[in-house]
Structure 1
């Protein structure tokens, strides 16, 4: 990322450029094999935001801050540990080590999942050896469940309300990273078109909101 990553307490705290997650987008495996059949699934238009209905939902009480340590997305068989991500020396968001293909990361200086605001989770779509943790993220549908285990013994349960793909040149920074009044979650990986020269040209973003919690 070329810009600072805020805690999502308000619009002034959010200054993230779309290139921020491009380090997730090497696509080395796909570029090496050059096989369209290997391309990860992409969300259809019906999974995009549908306006006001996205905002009408039960609002369970926000959870207190607590670091997460695992993310599960049953619909696409994701069950992965989470590592904290900081900023690089240039102010960009760091990414999980690409060789650990089943590892996702969360921005640990920002909102924790389940807390009021916008929490961010990111992971690779593939690495040089094949599919990685969020390879199937684009196959998620509205209503899918995302579970995040936290170190306080609580599991934050989120429901997906939109899945979208953006070209890096048109990435809606404020919509993805901006402040939220309820506990929300964004899960980001690479997607969209790709080229042999640059790899993926955009990102898949999952939007979800807290719908419950339980002990684990």
Structure 2
């Protein structure tokens, strides 16, 4: 399945550095949502309360020292994710693998499949030690609201479940939901190392700019594997 780079009215591209670390100048941008293209009342995606430059909190909602490590989830072996479920915002979507384009930019799901999510395959799989990254469009001019349109409405404590090819689902608890300007993307917190299984779910956010045809921010969900 082919993917296209996010450029022009779809935002600036990511560029990979090394094997797995990505400098994210922008995420999966998208065009005007369908409703606004047709002259109907514009529907805006919900935005998280927290915004940069807030420092993302720790990768788990628990303090290992206080809990004696009893509530730290055991990591799972590597297995490709197949679907993502986020009950609070009604997401039930298939996941496609993503890599990098020949120019080093990170692939994104094609806009004609904007109801699919994408997993950054060079990184950890959901449930493995490290930060697994799943991305998706916020909207599309062709279909309107896309897979992660309501991502900004998530709250700490919400649940995200990722189905895996090995039949062992990985369940995560949301630690925080933060909006960052694309030119201040927290690369280390998203793609950097983690000594336990983490999940980052990302889409575009902020007020859509009619002039540039792009969203200025990224909405990033930080979540931790539950025991």
For normalisation by structure 1, the TM-score amounts to: 0.85
Unaligned runs of 5+ in 1: 8-12
* Structure 1 partner of 2:6: none
Check whether the contact 2:126–2:197 (CA below 8 A) recurs between aligned residues.
yes
Where does residue 32 of structure 1 map in the other structure? 37
Q: Which residue of 1 aligns with 2:95?
A: 82
Q: State which of 135, 139, 143 in structure 2 corresponds to 1:122.
A: 135
Q: Structure 1 residue 69: deviation in Å?
A: 0.3
Q: 2 CA distance for matches of 1:36 and 1:28?
A: 12
Say yes or no: does 1:134 pair with 2:148. Answer: yes
Residues 153/5 of structure 1: CA separation in 2 closer, same or farther (3 Å cut): farther
Indicate the SS of the match to 2:194: coil
CA RMSD of aligned residues (A): 2.3
Question: How far apart, in 1, do the equivalents of 2:180 and 2:38 lie?
Answer: 24
Deviation at 1:149, TM superposition (A): 0.5
Deviation at 1:49, TM superposition (A): 6.2
How much has 1:5 moved relative to structure 2?
5.5
Larger helix proportion of the pair: 1
* Equivalent of 1:152 in 141, 144, 166: 166
Question: Structure 1 pair 99/157, CA: closer, same or farther in 2 (3 Å)?
Answer: same
Q: Deviations over 1:133-173 (max 9, x none)?
A: 00000000000000000011100000000000011122111
TM-score by length of 2: 0.81
SS in 1 for 2:124: coil
Q: CA deviation at 1:6?
A: 5.7
**What is the aligned length?**
203
Q: Does 1:4 align with 2:9?
A: no
Instruction: Please report how far the alpha carbon of residue 33 of structure 1 lies from its aligned counterpart in structure 2 after TM superposition.
Output: 5.5
Aligned pair 1:178/2:211, yes or no?
no
- Give, in angstroms, the shift of residue 18 of structure 1: 2.5
Q: Offset of 1:3 from its aligned partner? A: 2.3
